Amino acid sequence: MDSNVELRREIFSSDAWKIIDWLEDNQVTAYLNERQNVSDSIKQVMYRVNMPILTHLFNQDGSFFMITTKQGEPVGFLRLVPKGKGAEMVVVIGDREKWGKGLGTNAILKGLKQAFFEWRVDEVIAKINFKNERSRGVFKKIGFTKDKELPKEVQYSMTMEEFLKIAA
């Protein structure tokens, strides 16, 4: 399971500006469930807080990681949010030039390792917009199973046992 991405815990101010750019790109945010004003919220923090490292601000309701190439170039982000005995995963490849190159797949696999081995959760879920064929395909390809249809999205899940079978 060699990977072309890393998950970086530290969030620098340059990352925050990149995230703002991604969240202002309609093609990137077309299927995101994020609040529409989230980039404005980040901007307000950036103008208010003059700090080079913003890790603590991005990790308030879970774990937030920058997805980077092996060379350290940020291409997206991954968030894990505690949900009962499990975690919900959100993955965004913000750099559209990097779409379709397997970065999301590898980031999800790294996120699963984090959730199952560090957090020790029983299950990881992902809620994906019905229209987001690309994202739904990636989660299914990895081995997530569809377990719920919600009003605007499909919920996929994977248990620790299922993950151990594919990681073996």
Q: Measured between alpha carbons, how far is 29 from 116 in angstroms, rounded to an integer? A: 28
pLDDT of residue 1: 47
Total number of domains constituting the chain: 1
pLDDT at 53: 75
Q: Which residues, in sequence order, are bridge partners of residue 5?
A: 69
Distance CA 161, CA 156 (A): 15
pLDDT (tens digit per residue) in 122-162? 999 999 999 899 999 999 999 999 999 988 899 999 999 99
Torsion of the alpha carbons at 7, 93, 1 and 12, rounded to the nearest 10: -10
pLDDT at position 140, please? 96
Site of tokens 């809620």: 127
Q: Tell me the C-alpha distance between 27 and 159, whole Å.
A: 31
Neighbours of 114 (CB within 10 A): 20
Q: What's at 15, amino acid-wise? A: D
Least confident of 5-9, 54-58, 110-114: 54-58
Dump the DSSP string for 88-108: EEEEEE--GGGTTSSHHHHHH
Contact between residue 166 and residue 142 where contact means Cβ atoms under 8 Å apart: yes
Note the pLDDT tens digit of each residue in 38-85: 777 777 877 777 777 778 878 788 999 999 999 999 999 999 999 989
User: Which residues have a Cβ under 8 Å from the Cβ of 153 and sit 6 or more positions away?
Assistant: 33, 127, 128, 129, 130
Average pLDDT over residues 4-21: 91
* In contact, 67 and 76? CB cutoff 8 Å: yes
CATH number at residue 119: 3.40.630.30
**Two structure tokens written together for 67:** 């997805």
Domain span at 135:
5-167
On whether the pTM is more than 0.85, the answer is: yes
Yes or no: say if 133 and 139 are a contact pair by the CB < 8 Å rule.
no
